[in-house]
Structure 1
Amino acid sequence: MLEKLQQHITQNLPFLKESKLLIAISGGVDSVVLVNLCYNLGLDISLAHCNFNLRGNESDDDEQFVIELANKLDIEAFTESFDTEGYAVLNKVSIQMAARELRYFWFDELAQQLAFDYILTAHHADDNLETFLINFSRGTGLDGLTGIPEVNNKFVRPLLPFSRENVIDYAKNNNLQWRVDSSNASTKYLRNKLRHEIIPILKEINPSLLQSYQGTISNLSDTADIVEDYMELFLAEAIDTIEDNKIVFNISAFKKHNNPKAYLFEALKDYGFTQWNDVVNLLNAQSGKYVLSNTHRLIKHGDTLLLSEIETEEIKTITINTFSEVTETPFGTLSFSVVDTIAHNEANTIFVDKALLKLPLTIRKWEVGDVFFPFGMVGKKRVSKYFKDEKLSLLDKESSLLLCSGEDIVWIINRRADNRFRVTENTNEIIKIELK
């Protein structure tokens, strides 16, 4: 196995030879074998171990085992202790997801702070098959069927060509010691159920299951490359604009194809949507209709679809007590300055009569029932009617903020000033309000 890994690295992962590497080690047989192989190949390695505090003394013993292994090999080891259960409750995720997030966040942090070039994990061919079956059972697209990537940014998995049997044979033949995670025997987790109950039956049916699977993965990966190349061309046509908080898609680009659902899936698969029939129905829906994922919202607006991230924090009312304040808003920095004359009005600037403003001023989200007197017009208008006349999307409406003096609207920020605060021939002092 050592010679085969050396050949694999030389042919496919030559950059590892000259890199500073961090190996993620649990203490189990897979990661211990990876450490031993990399050490014998003379690679520049250090170890990183996560203590998730989920198995009492076992977790602490795993950590001590890793420390002793590092001392024996005279290499550096980093350990970190996590309150995994507390993190899971706080972030409303499963224990497995909590451990995954904590683990990868820490690995990334270590790599950045200590200049590691790559992080190696001990995933092998059986892990790849298990991941394939998990994705298949839950429903997925082509990407979910192409397995674990061998190289994914800083993460590299050099053992993917090898089976679990190869790994265990190497460990036994080299008299390696490793830790056994008792939770791996429990079939209450889907991966363990597949590992202990389903995959053995599949291997009994087809003793060459792993080889057949790896051939299938290779074919699927080639197909995925073709789809990715074509989607780059398609998205160049389909995407109208990309802004900080939204992507605008042209509906016509999807409708011209016989299977718009396939194009929608490929364009939006990374944003958590699952109700794909509802997404397709947006193409012919009324403006304002939308579909939600856990993280994003897709809104129909005229001839476009607007994709935006769901705001997790409610915008709170901001109070401005003096005209000397520089105030941070979700749109930028708001400032006040006394000027002698009115310059050309820009969207981000208004000029008002200082005497008409009553401190404190406030910045708040607009509400149903809000009324203002649009600058340059006679009479009042509901803010909601103004938004409709301006053909603002639901996303733009929801993100709109008001600058107010008492109960009166001074400015729909970046859109329209209120006529009641305009500068007249009787104005003694002019204030310029600008958003940068």
Structure 2
Amino acid sequence: MKPISLRETIINSVHSHGLSGRALSLAVSGGPDSMAMAHVLVTNNRKANAEIEILHFNHQIRGKEAKSDSDFVKNFFESLDVPTFVSEGNILALSKKNKLSLETAARTARYEFFATHICENKRNSVLTLGHNFDDQAETILMHTIRGSGINGLRGMAEFSTQTIQGLNLSLFRPLLSVNRESVLKYCEDYNIPWKTDSTNFSTEYTRNSIRLELIPFLKKYNPEISKSLVKLGNLAARDHDYIELKIEEIWPSIATISNGAIVLSISRLQQLDASLAWRILKKAATNIKGDDHNMTYTHIELMMDITKGSSGRSVNLPGKVIATKSYDNLLVFKSNSDFLPSSFSNHPTVITTPGTTQTERWKIVSSLKSRNCSSEKNDSKKDMSTFLNKDLMKESLWVRSRNPGDAFQPSGMKNPKKLQDFMVDSKIPRIYRDSVPLIVSNKGIAAVVGWRVAEWAVPSKSEDCLYIEFDCNGF
């Protein structure tokens, strides 16, 4: 059987992933891989039935050489009437500023340009990349050296989605089954010019060192090491896909969404195999963060640790993500999200009764309600309201947050207890306690809003009652 050509491989890949008719944004560096890929897609535009544009990023690391590459890409494709967009960034400065390696800084800036351009101009476009078979082998080996799990061992997928700086991007790599030798032969056969990046020969960069030194060394033990690595990646991908299906099945029974936070049931989490529980935690963290960049094994292990500790323990994760244990739940949220309770001053604010009281972030509405008022504890933090004895309208009422030494006599109890003890016994999450509104009169705390009324402030069943409702976006 005649081997499938590079051209056929790319066109078949476009069709197999349902990309016929989709706009394609081709990332072209000027090297042989991206030039060969772009040549096929541009010259076969009608066959692939796809709108095409070229994206090129100048990292400004190689000075005039890099500028020459940018001009080469722009001139070559504009001569073919293909829209070409070039951007640049000072990667050396970015690397120093953010304390990143040159490789990481370059990749970050490059992909930010790709994502921003596509989302601002062609929201449905697919970012098409020229990674080949040998790149895949190098990636899998690099991930193995770093101690990656099954996710990293998969290497790169031919088609995937990725969130970059909060922007959702589709990625397409049609050359993953094509080796570097075939790419160079295609360029030679079709007289396609290409540029050589001089930094590709510097072993100061991890990937270059793997390609130029480690893989040739490993070939002494296995001449087909690249094929073996890619096979490992394919097996890992197959297992990963199965595990992901299981995670999707389990997820709804363990996780709920609340005000931009993910709430995980710890008791249900602990019933799972450790491998599945670990992946549930990672899914929660990455979903809240928006991507898995910098979310390491250590971070997920820290999340696992706090599920086994006492309530109130927290861990800070990358991207301003916080995971905190609240009794049988693990709360995962961003530090600036609406899930965090809005702060409430511990300095008393007078409540207008009846009427409306407006504080910086709270709106408090009080009114007289007809009989059958409920005085039962309300343990839903979303229902920020309370029913009180109407006689309290004759007194001055204030609202504040808790103070050290506060005491409270909950309804149904003969004696007061420390407010701190009441909050612990009521399982009010630690992160909320300073923000729970307290209604106070000269007699003391009349209500812990949303949780319990004081015994002496319980409304009479035969009379109207004072109803006070609190509204705040952040609680």
Using the size of structure 1 for normalisation, the TM-score is: 0.77
Alignment of 1:188-207 (within 5 A): 188-207=204-223
1:38-77 paired onto structure 2 within 5 Å:
38-42=41-45, 43-77=50-84
Deviation at 1:162, TM superposition (A): 0.9
The equivalences for 1:21-420 within 5 A come to 21-42=24-45, 43-85=50-92, 87-88=94-95, 93-115=100-122, 116-153=124-161, 154-237=170-253, 239=254, 241-243=256-258, 244-255=260-271, 260-270=273-283, 271=285, 272=295, 274-275=297-298, 282=306, 284-290=308-314, 293-295=317-319, 296-302=321-327, 304-311=328-335, 329=361, 334-337=362-365, 339=367, 341=369, 347-349=383-385, 356=396, 369=404, 371=406, 383-397=419-433, 400=435, 402=437, 414-415=450-451
**Distance in structure 2 (CA, Å) of the matches to 1:108 and 1:2:** 32
Residue 350 of structure 1 contacts residue 434 of structure 1 at CA under 8 Å; is this kept in 2?
no
* Structure 2: tracts of 5 or more residues without a match: 162-169, 286-294, 461-465
SS at match of 1:73: coil
For 1:369, the aligned partner's letter is P
TM-score, normalization by structure 2: 0.71
- Structure 1 residues 309 and 186, CA gap change in structure 2 (3 angstroms): farther
User: In the aligned structure 2, how far is the partner of 1:195 from the partner of 1:23?
Assistant: 24
Aligned residue pair count: 420
**More displaced 10-residue stretch of structure 1: 202-211 or 278-287:** 278-287
Worse-matched range after superposition: 158-167 or 385-394: 385-394
Structure 2 residue 472 is matched with structure 1 residue 435: yes
Shift of 1:378: 8.6
Q: What amino acid maps onto 1:128 in structure 2?
A: Q
Using the TM superposition, name which of 309-318 and 185-194 deviates more: 309-318
Cα RMSD of the aligned pairs, angstroms, is: 4.4
State percent identity of aligned pairs: 24
- Alpha-carbon contact 2:25-2:54 (below 8 Å) kept: yes
Q: How far apart are the structure 2 equivalents of 1:54 and 1:325?
A: 60
Give the conservation status (yes or no) of the 8 Å contact 1:118–1:155: yes
SS in 2 for 1:17: coil
Q: Classify 1:171/1:8 alpha carbon distance in 2 versus 1 (closer, same or farther; 3 Å).
A: closer
**Residue 3 of structure 1: CA displacement?**
3.6
Paired with 2:470 and 2:329, the residues of 1 have a C-alpha distance of 33
Query: Structure 1 residues 122-131 or 103-112, which shifts more?
Result: 103-112
In the superposition, relative to structure 1, how do residues 431 and 211 fare at CA in structure 2: closer, same or farther (>3 Å)? closer
- Return closer, same or farther for 1:31/1:186 CA change in 2, 3 Å cut-off: same
Cα distance in 2 between the residues matched to 1:413 and 1:227: 44
The DSSP-based 3-state class of the residue aligned with 1:216 is helix
Measure how far apart 1:124 and its partner are. Answer: 1.1
Would you say the 8 A contact 1:48–1:79 is kept in 2?
yes
Opposite residue 426 of structure 2, the aligned amino acid is E
> What SS does structure 2 have at the residue aligned with 1:78?
strand
Preserved contact between residue 9 and residue 175 of structure 2 (Cα < 8 Å): no
Looking at structure 1, the residues matched to 94 and 452 of structure 2 have their Cα atoms a distance apart, in angstroms, of 45
TM-superposed CA distance for 1:24, in Å, is: 1.2
Instruction: Write out per-residue CA displacement over residues 3-34 of structure 1, whole angstroms, 9 at most, x where no aligned residue.
Output: 43324532664433322111112223322222
